[in-house]
């Protein structure tokens, strides 16, 4: 059935929205592999997930972060309001810098994680995975001079990650981009507007995030891809992102983190300490949401601790239950994400483990399939203290060209 101009498409309300970069991405999504994120059509992969992952580790790739929530928090009380909301001390965040934050309920359970950009003395941008205008309005209660604007649809954002990303931006004409330190924000004139670039990302590798008015989104894409043609540029989707972030040891919503406000069962959400994000909690700053609960938790220690594991063999331990001995009599935790890491050449996982059992043996019960037949194995895991993957180029300023 076709519709003419005057018809109303009866299914329009159910269709996913398209991001500002969609026309270019659709042309490159050879596999028609689409998922959704906050109502937007969003690529799982474009050509081959593993290939795209390797672009992030070997050349560079772009990841569409238009669907990510972007809230502009403005006003004389903006700093105080955010400082009251998140666990980190925002007063210490200098102009044109970005910081990673979590915010909690009064019970000290994580509502969400995200980043805060200081755009001016009295203006911030808060980014996060899930919409949270309701929580922001509650958090602004009692603060006189603060205005929260949902800028998600008004800002087009594209992440450029990988070892050649700095070379590509240089070639695009962003003079001085190589001087940006991790978490710096830089501005560049772009046609009749301004391009904001932050040295941030979700891959653990060298990378940048580009922020532009939607009107110039496709222009930005075209110039970026022209500059990147000889530097291996390739769009990458959710699957490759998930691989890269796990190697970097970053948490993923709905995998490591179950948002507190959406949690039904008691303590099926997490605290920052449980997520190994205790370093984000600053008890020296003035009162913030969840402070007393977190202080208590700090004293007694978290019930669970998110732990990095190296697992023997090559079968990803997805969903594996963990035990304190090979007989699997007493369960002590569970795997939240697992994969074979091509860069590290190890079978890696993140797992939530009852803190009291961290010192003993950790055994994983893994189920895997071979030609439809299910197999089970129980293997002894090794706890890894450092991130699985931390290339020096991710921290170097200026970064190398590849």
Partner 1 sequence: MKSYDAIVIGAGHNGLSNGAYLAKAGLDVVVLEKNDYIGGAAASRELHAGWTYSNASYVCSMLRQALHRDLDLSRHGLILVPYLGTVNFGDDGETLVAYPNEAAEYLELKRHSAHDADSMHRFQADLARYAQFIRKTLLRTPPDPTSFRLRDIRELLFLGKRFWSLGEKEMYEYVRFFTMSAAEFLEDYFENDLIKAAMASPGIIGTALGVYSPGSAYILLHHVMGDVDGNIGAWGLARGGMGAISRAIAGALQEHGGELRTNAGVQKILVEEGKAVGVVLESGEEVSARIVVSNLDAKRTFTRIMDRNDLPPGIYEKAEKFKIRGSSGKVNIALSGLPKFTGLPENRYINRGGQTFSGSLETMERAYDCWKRGRWSDDPFVESVIPSAWDPTVAPPGKHWMSNFVQYCPPALADGPWTPQKRDQFGQTVVDKIERYSPGFRDLIVHMEVRTPHELEQEIGLTEGNIFQGELTIDQLLFNRPFPGYAQYRMPVKNLYMCGSSTHPGGGVSAACGANAAREILLDLKRPNTVPEDDFYDE
CB of 156 to partner 1, least distance (A): 23
> How far apart, in Å, do the first and last CA atoms of the chain sit?
51
CB of 288 to partner 1, least distance (A): 39
Strands 40-45, 33-37: pairing is antiparallel
Residue number, 45 or 68, with CB nearest to partner 1: 45
Residue numbers of the site for partner 1 (CB under 8 A)?
A: 31, 47-48, 50-51, 54, 57-59, 163-164, 167, 171, 230-232, 312-314, 340, 342-346, 370, 401-402
CB of 389 to partner 1, least distance (A): 8
Residue number, 139 or 337, with CB nearest to partner 1: 337
Q: Are 60 and 228 in contact (CB under 8 A)?
A: yes
CB of 132 to partner 1, least distance (A): 38
Cα–Cα distance between 394 and 358 in angstroms, integer?
A: 30
Residue number, 45 or 185, with CB nearest to partner 1: 45
CB of 234 to partner 1, least distance (A): 8
Chain-centroid distance of CA 41 in Å reads 18
The sign of the torsion formed by the CA atoms of 288, 293, 297, 299 equals positive
Cα–Cα distance between 168 and 19 in angstroms, integer?
A: 23
∠ at Cα 203 (197, 207), nearest 5°?
30
Q: What backbone torsions phi and psi does residue 355 show, to the nearest 5 degrees?
A: -55, -40
Environment class of 10 (CB within 10 Å of its CB; exposed 0-12, middle 13-18, buried 19+): exposed
Q: Are 274 and 107 in contact (CB under 8 A)?
A: no
CB of 313 to partner 1, least distance (A): 6
Residue number, 47 or 183, with CB nearest to partner 1: 47
Residue number, 59 or 242, with CB nearest to partner 1: 59
Residue number, 302 or 316, with CB nearest to partner 1: 316
CA atoms within 13 A on the CB side of 109: 17
Residue number, 77 or 247, with CB nearest to partner 1: 247
Which residues, at least 6 apart from 114, have a Cβ–Cβ distance to it below 8 Å?
A: 69, 100, 101, 102, 126, 127, 128, 129
Task: Tell me which DSSP letter residue 86 carries.
Answer: B
CB of 169 to partner 1, least distance (A): 13
């Amino acid at each position: 059935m076709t519709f003419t101009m005057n018809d109303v498409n009866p299914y329009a309300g159910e269709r996913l929205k398209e991001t500002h970069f969609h026309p270019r991405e659709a042309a490159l999504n050879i596999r028609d592999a689409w998922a959704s994120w906050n109502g937007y059509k969003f690529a799982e992969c474009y050509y081959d997930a593993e290939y795209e992952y390797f672009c992030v580790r070997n050349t560079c790739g772009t990841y569409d972060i238009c669907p990510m929530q972007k809230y502009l928090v403005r006003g004389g009380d903006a700093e105080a309001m955010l400082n009251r909301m998140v666990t980190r001390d925002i007063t210490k965040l200098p102009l044109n810098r970005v910081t990673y934050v979590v915010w909690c309920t009064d019970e000290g359970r994580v509502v969400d994680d995200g980043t805060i950009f200081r755009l001016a003395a009295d203006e911030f941008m808060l980014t996060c995975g899930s919409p949270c205008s309701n929580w922001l309005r509650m958090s602004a209660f009692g603060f006189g001079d603060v205005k929260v604007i949902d800028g998600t649809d008004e800002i087009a954002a594209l992440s450029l990650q990988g070892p050649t990303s700095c070379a590509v931006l240089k070639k695009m004409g962003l003079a001085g981009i190589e001087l940006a330190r991790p978490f710096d924000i830089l501005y560049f004139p772009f046609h009749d507007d301004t391009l904001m670039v932050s040295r941030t990302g979700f891959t653990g590798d060298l990378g940048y995030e580009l922020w532009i008015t939607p009107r110039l989104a496709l222009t930005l894409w075209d110039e970026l891809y022209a500059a990147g043609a000889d530097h291996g540029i390739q769009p990458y989707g959710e699957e490759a992102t998930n691989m890269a972030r796990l190697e970097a040891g970053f948490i993923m919503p709905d995998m490591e983190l179950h948002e507190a406000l959406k949690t039904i069962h008691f303590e099926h959400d997490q605290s920052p300490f449980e997520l190994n994000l205790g370093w984000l909690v600053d008890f020296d700053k003035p009162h913030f949401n969840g402070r007393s609960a977190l202080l208590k938790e700090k004293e007694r220690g978290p019930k669970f601790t998110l732990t990095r594991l190296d697992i023997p063999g090559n079968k990803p331990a997805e969903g594996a239950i963990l035990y304190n001995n090979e007989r699997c009599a007493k369960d002590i935790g569970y795997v939240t994400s697992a994969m074979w890491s091509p860069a590290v050449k190890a079978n890696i996982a993140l797992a939530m483990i009852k803190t009291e059992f961290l010192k003993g043996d950790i055994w994983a019960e893994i189920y895997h399939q071979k030609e439809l037949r299910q197999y089970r194995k129980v293997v002894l895991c090794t706890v890894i203290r450092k991130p699985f993957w931390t290339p020096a180029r991710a921290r170097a300023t200026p970064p190398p060209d590849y």
